[in-house]
């Protein structure tokens, strides 16, 4: 699509109409009015065209270029640190993202296991192996011709423990997470909760935060959701994820082999407490939302300068792993200023249950446990069993052929404290191994107490509309007391969560089909079950706004932030409503609150720039447009806005990189972009490049936009006259 330039005279009001549509439903760049401002207003239209140059010589570097850090890879580290490398290689970290290898794949590709029929019977998957290549074949029976074969290129997961998820890395650089997954605890195929209304291979984008926490370095293409370069990749969490890029370190010690103290490398053990902890919590926390570019954090830096953490009140709402939040609530952590993650975990060695209890004994004498005399001798040293119980990691779950919301992993509770139910679990395991009548009776009593505990937890979750948490609690009930009655309770909870998911998916499909009435009715049904669903509240508010019901729109948008402090949608829409109504200071206030939740969203930076533009604060507007382009260099609206605002502010030099970037994006084949670039060149004091841009634009205009030919010829003549 050709980029058409907005007339500066009408910039503000035209942009408002463009952005209203842009905010509600992101579109490709929207054509706007052609520029009516000429470099010269009069010239001889019959002047013959000057010789056509072949290309422009750009004056500024290309936007969005990434400088690769001096990573060397674990094989280089192993040359000097063989022992540590050997033990570290046995941990899960190096395997978190890896190339597909035949010897490392599950046995589910055998003919007896390689079919998976989803719970939506229209869709099925076949898993194929062709020598050392592996494929997912998706077949949507509602579209008989829709069969998609996707290569499994990468494996995301530690392998052999919980789940392995498979990544397809396309030739265009896009990393996409295939829906199919292998669950090791039950040795079966499963799927993530993909959108059955989509098509193709039903994959979803593998976002930068996922790649960051599962690899040491993969170059991300700025402004894209999931495009990456293959060159120089270092998959898995390896040495430099914790010690920083090692290039300078290797160079120094190669030149100075007599030096034994590590130079030019981060030694986490030498860092202050918080920075040491953050080496681990760059991934083992809810630090999810970027404040800067992907892969910009380095060990030893403040983590909160690179990421904003989600707010979560329970484990089901954690993003993936959030051990640090709960560790900070522990008396052990609060009362010991030296305690960090590596107090209990040796990052270079695999952990076991024995090392967990041994870690406790580093600080606590056995007799410090006041309950110790009351416990059977065999369990007295199981510190972590009573004080750090395991729980189902329900926030990561899959759909199997016979079940749904299945968590393949248990997570260790990191809020170190006495837990009555955990003590009961330890004792139940002990007495269940005994055959005496007393032991059997005690086990029966303990089992019932635990069932009552998890039944109560499920009831609390249902009361708070935390239906996924209820599923987890009822799975514990079935584990302890597997009866038709408890299985029915679990199935009811699973079905309720599945119904909510389907309602959300259906509502989104109706919106895409422009069926507003059906979308509203579906969201209303969803909210009748889960009235605190922020996504449904936000979209319902927008649907009310579409139909002129301002009061209900605002009411629903306000509820979004109330029920989910991590969701900026409602605040963003309140800001936009204030902007449309000319309440610019109020719009800025809402945007600032939304920006605190979503600190690195190009769309929002651009919209804040529009507010400043309407307030006639061009420097602030330009700054916001530039911020948007730092995040998303191909953001068409921000590119147009920053060029025109810079010209209006009399700072053409600021506009130059962005005007050149637009011409780069169009391959120097859009006459209007070239005309605008010529205008910027001239205003910035570069008449010769301006003339070159116009001469490039002229033949393009003759075939694409003949109405521009006369204007271009006049501008060329005017520039040639003053050379």
pLDDT band at 365 (very low <50, low <70, confident <90, very high): confident
In tens, the pLDDT along 236-280 reads 999 999 999 999 999 999 999 999 899 999 999 999 999 999 999
Same domain, 452 and 392: yes
Give the domain extent around 191: 74-317
Same domain, 133 and 272: yes
In tens, the pLDDT along 624-661 reads 999 999 999 999 999 999 999 999 999 999 999 999 99
Q: In the listed set 482, 514, 537, which residue is the last one of a domain according to the structure? A: 482
Ramachandran area for residue 505 (φ above 0: left; ψ -120 to 50: alpha; else beta)? alpha
Angle between helices 618-631 and 602-614 (to 10 degrees): 170
Domain annotation covers residue 562? no
pLDDT band at 366 (very low <50, low <70, confident <90, very high): confident
Given this model, what pLDDT does residue 55 score? 76
Same domain, 356 and 403: yes
Given this model, what pLDDT does residue 549 score? 96
Inform me whether the pLDDT recorded for 294 exceeds 70: yes
Same domain, 190 and 212: yes
For residues 81 and 146, which has the higher predicted lDDT (pLDDT)? 81
Domain annotation covers residue 27? yes
Q: 561 phi and psi, to 5 degrees? A: -65, -30
Beta bridge partners of 166: 155
Cβ–Cβ under 8 Å, residues 282 and 321: no
Instruction: Indicate the range of 11-20, 21-30, 163-172, 618-627 predicted with least confidence.
Output: 21-30
CATH at 617:
1.25.40.10
Domain annotation covers residue 524? no
Q: What average pLDDT does this structure show over 203-222?
A: 96
Domain annotation covers residue 282? yes
Cβ–Cβ under 8 Å, residues 234 and 217: yes
Domain annotation covers residue 265? yes
Domain annotation covers residue 583? no
Same domain, 17 and 84: no
Instruction: Indicate the range of 99-113, 349-363, 599-613 predicted with least confidence.
Output: 349-363
For residues 210 and 46, which has the higher predicted lDDT (pLDDT)? 210
Exposed / middle / buried, residue 576 (Cβ in 10 Å: 0-12, 13-18, 19+)? buried
Find the length of the chain. Answer: 723
Same domain, 36 and 149: no
Per the prediction, the chain carries an average pLDDT of 90
Inform me whether the pLDDT recorded for 548 exceeds 60: yes
pLDDT band at 10 (very low <50, low <70, confident <90, very high): very low
For residues 50 and 149, which has the higher predicted lDDT (pLDDT)? 149
Instruction: Indicate the range of 21-35, 249-263, 372-386, 667-681 predicted with least confidence.
Output: 21-35
Percentage of the chain surpassing pLDDT 70?
92
H or E segment at 505?
helix 484-512
pLDDT band at 357 (very low <50, low <70, confident <90, very high): confident
Angle between helices 484-512 and 467-480 (to 10 degrees): 160
Helix segments in 408-466, DSSP class H: 420-432, 437-463
Q: How far is it between the farthest Cα atoms of the chain?
A: 110
Inform me whether the pLDDT recorded for 320 exceeds 90: no
Inform me whether the pLDDT recorded for 482 exceeds 60: yes
H or E segment at 150?
strand 147-151
Given this model, what pLDDT does residue 428 score? 97
Same domain, 125 and 248: yes
Domain annotation covers residue 547? no
Same domain, 185 and 263: yes
Angle at 236 between CA 234 and CA 241, to 5 degrees: 75
Q: How many domains does the chain have?
A: 3
Distance CA 589, CA 568 (A): 13
Cα distances (angstroms) measured from residue 232 to each of 72, 73, 394: 9, 9, 35
Domain annotation covers residue 144? yes
pLDDT band at 53 (very low <50, low <70, confident <90, very high): low
Q: In the listed set 415, 448, 482, which residue is the last one of a domain according to the structure? A: 482
Same domain, 403 and 427: yes
Instruction: Indicate the range of 35-49, 385-399, 425-439 predicted with least confidence.
Output: 35-49
Distance CA 17, CA 264 (A): 53
Q: In the listed set 317, 344, 378, which residue is the last one of a domain according to the structure? A: 317
Given this model, what pLDDT does residue 54 score? 55
Same domain, 185 and 246: yes
Q: What average pLDDT does this structure show over 657-676?
A: 95
pLDDT band at 353 (very low <50, low <70, confident <90, very high): low
Same domain, 218 and 349: no
Same domain, 235 and 138: yes
Q: Is the pTM of this model over 0.85?
A: yes
Strands ordered across the beta sheet of 123-130: 115-117, 123-130, 133-140, 147-151
- Residue 201, token pair as written in the block: 């291979």
- Residue 62, token pair as written in the block: 């290309």
């Amino acid at each position: 699509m050709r980029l058409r330039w907005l007339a500066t005279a009408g910039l503000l009001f035209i942009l408002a109409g463009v952005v209203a549509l842009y905010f509600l439903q992101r579109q490709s760049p929207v054509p706007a009015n052609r520029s009516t401002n000429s470099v010269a207003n009069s010239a001889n239209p019959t002047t013959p065209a000057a010789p056509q140059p072949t290309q422009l010589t750009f004056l500024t570097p290309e936007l969005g270029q990434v400088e690769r850090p001096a990573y060397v890879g674990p094989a280089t580290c192993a040359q000097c640190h063989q022992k540590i490398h050997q033990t570290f290689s046995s941990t899960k970290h190096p395997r978190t993202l890896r190339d597909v290898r035949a010897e490392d794949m599950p046995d589910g590709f055998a003919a007896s296991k390689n079919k998976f029929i989803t719970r939506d019977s229209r869709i099925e998957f076949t898993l194929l192996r062709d020598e050392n290549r592996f494929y997912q074949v998706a077949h949507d029976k509602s579209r008989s011709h829709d069969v998609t074969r996707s290569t499994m290129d990468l494996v995301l997961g530690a392998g052999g423990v919980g789940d392995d998820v498979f990544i397809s890395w396309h030739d265009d650089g896009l990393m996409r997470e295939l829906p199919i997954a292998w669950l090791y605890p039950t040795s079966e195929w499963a799927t993530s909760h993909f959108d059955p209304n989509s098509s193709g291979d039903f994959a979803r984008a593998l976002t930068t935060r996922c790649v960051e926490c599962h690899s040491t370095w993969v170059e991300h293409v700025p402004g894209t959701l999931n495009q990456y370069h293959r060159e120089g990749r270092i998959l898995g969490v390896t040495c430099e994820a914790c010690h920083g890029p090692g290039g300078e370190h290797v160079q120094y010690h190669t030149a100075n082999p007599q030096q034994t103290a590590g130079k030019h490398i981060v030694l986490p053990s030498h860092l202050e407490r918080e920075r040491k902890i953050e080496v681990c919590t760059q991934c083992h926390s809810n630090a999810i939302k970027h404040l800067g570019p992907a892969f910009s954090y380095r060990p030893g830096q403040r983590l909160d300068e690179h990421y904003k953490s989600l707010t979560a009140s329970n484990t089901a709402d954690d993003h993936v792993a959030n051990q640090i939040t709960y560790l900070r609530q522990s008396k052990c952590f609060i009362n010991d200023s030296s305690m960090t993650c590596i107090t209990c975990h040796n990052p270079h060695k695999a952990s076991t249950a024995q090392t967990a209890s041994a870690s406790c004994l580093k600080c606590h004498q056995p007799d410090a446990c006041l309950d110790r005399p009351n416990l059977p001798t065999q369990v007295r040293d199981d510190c972590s069993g009573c004080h750090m119980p395991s729980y189902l990691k329900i926030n990561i779950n899959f759909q199997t052929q016979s079940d749904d919301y299945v968590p393949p992993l248990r997570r260790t509770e990191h809020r170190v404290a006495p837990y009555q139910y955990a003590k009961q679990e330890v004792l139940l395991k002990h007495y269940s191994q005994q055959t005496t009548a007393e032991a059997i009776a005690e086990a029966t009593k303990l089992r019932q107490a635990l069932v009552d505990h998890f039944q109560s937890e499920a009831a609390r979750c249902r009361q708070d509309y935390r239906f996924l948490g209820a599923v987890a609690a009822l799975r514990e009930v079935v584990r302890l007391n597997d009866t038709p009655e408890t299985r029915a309770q679990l199935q009811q909870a699973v079905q309720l969560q599945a119904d909510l998911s389907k309602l959300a998916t259906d509502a989104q499909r109706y919106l895409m089909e422009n069926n507003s009435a059906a979308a509203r009715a579906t969201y209303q049904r969803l909210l009748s079950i889960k009235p605190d669903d922020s996504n449904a509240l936000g979209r319902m508010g927008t649907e009310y706004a579409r139909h002129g019901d301002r009061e209900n729109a605002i009411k629903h948008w306000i509820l979004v932030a109330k029920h989910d402090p991590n969701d900026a949608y409602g605040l963003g829409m309140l800001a936009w409503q204030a902007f449309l109504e000319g309440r610019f200071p109020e719009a800025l206030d809402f945007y600032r609150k939304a920006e605190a939740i979503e600190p690195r969203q190009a769309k929002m930076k651009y919209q804040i720039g529009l507010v400043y533009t309407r307030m006639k604060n061009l420097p602030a507007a330009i700054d916001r447009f530039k911020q948007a382009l730092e995040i998303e260099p191909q953001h068409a609206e921000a590119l147009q806005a920053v060029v025109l605002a810079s010209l209006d502010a009399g700072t053409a030099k600021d506009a130059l990189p962005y005007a050149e970037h637009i011409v780069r994006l169009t391959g120097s084949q859009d006459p209007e972009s070239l005309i605008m670039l010529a205008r910027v060149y001239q205003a910035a004091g570069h008449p010769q490049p301006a003339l070159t841009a116009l001469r490039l634009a002229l033949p393009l205009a003759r075939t694409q936009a003949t109405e521009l030919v006369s204007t271009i010829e006049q501008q060329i003549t005017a520039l040639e006259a003053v050379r």
